[in-house]
Amino acid sequence: MPGLILLAPGETAHHTTAHGPVSLKKYGSSGREFVRAAVPARHPAGDGATRAALVTLRPAAYPFAGAWLAALAEHAPDRADYGRPDMAPGSVRLLARMTRTHANGVPRASDGSVGWSVPGASARVWPDGRVEVQNAGGVVLAARLEGSGWDAWQVAAVVDAGLRLLCAPGARHMTRTSQPQGWAQSSLWAGRSFDGASEAVCSCGWRAMAASRMGARADAAEHLREQGAEAPC
């Protein structure tokens, strides 16, 4: 959104996304300016709450503002309220696609936040609904998610979108394959059977099932080649 730099302090604007309009206002003075954006929920609450997220944008983040606001508007809850997001940062870490290892994050003792990184960028989520994505160059995409309608799946989708915007190009497609079930006995009287099926999954959302883990790795490598990735992950 290059137009943000042209806004004068105190001036307001509106940005239209596929999921509704976002209102923006510039604050500060030259050299210390920033823009606040209010992302609405799809339906206002009866108590007057309308906002699903409050976004703070510094000048370095202006080029990414349109895509960041669109991601927040896309995954915002249907209804606004004055509650807090219903999610645990560790669960967000577990559900995020933009990661090589899907595991519960260990909350930081000082504030309960959980962070993780991908090549070129990192993310952190706080229990009060704050999310922040930052790249190696210091660009920060920050937002405070508002309302009890936010769950861990929605927050993870927002963080994934931010990481895709700021990460190194090769990190936009990180693949992994699932561990086959192997030998198993379906019941006390049944014989043992072998299940070697494995699923290949990419951080972009692509997935494919194969009869073996070797086949899943081959599918993942082919997906990366189709996307122009330099090397399989």
Cβ burial of 49 (10 Å; 0-12, 13-18, 19+) is: middle
Q: Which pair of tokens denotes residue 115?
A: 């962070």
Q: Beta strands 20-27 and 12-17: pairing type?
A: antiparallel
pLDDT (tens place) for every residue of the chain, 233 residues total: 667 887 888 899 888 888 888 999 999 887 789 999 999 987 766 666 789 999 999 999 999 999 999 999 999 998 888 888 888 999 999 899 888 766 666 788 889 999 999 889 999 999 999 999 999 899 999 999 999 999 999 999 999 999 999 998 878 888 888 888 888 776 666 677 888 899 998 888 889 999 999 999 999 999 988 888 755 44
Q: Where are the domains of the chain?
A: 2-169, 173-226
- H or E segment and range at residue 222: helix 213-226
- pLDDT at residue 18, as a whole number: 82
Give the DSSP letter of residue 218: H
The answer, as to whether pTM is greater than 0.85, is no
Q: Which residues of 114-148 are buried (b: 16+ CB within 10 A; e: fewer)?
A: bbbbbebbbbbbbbebbbbbbbeeebbbbbbbbbb
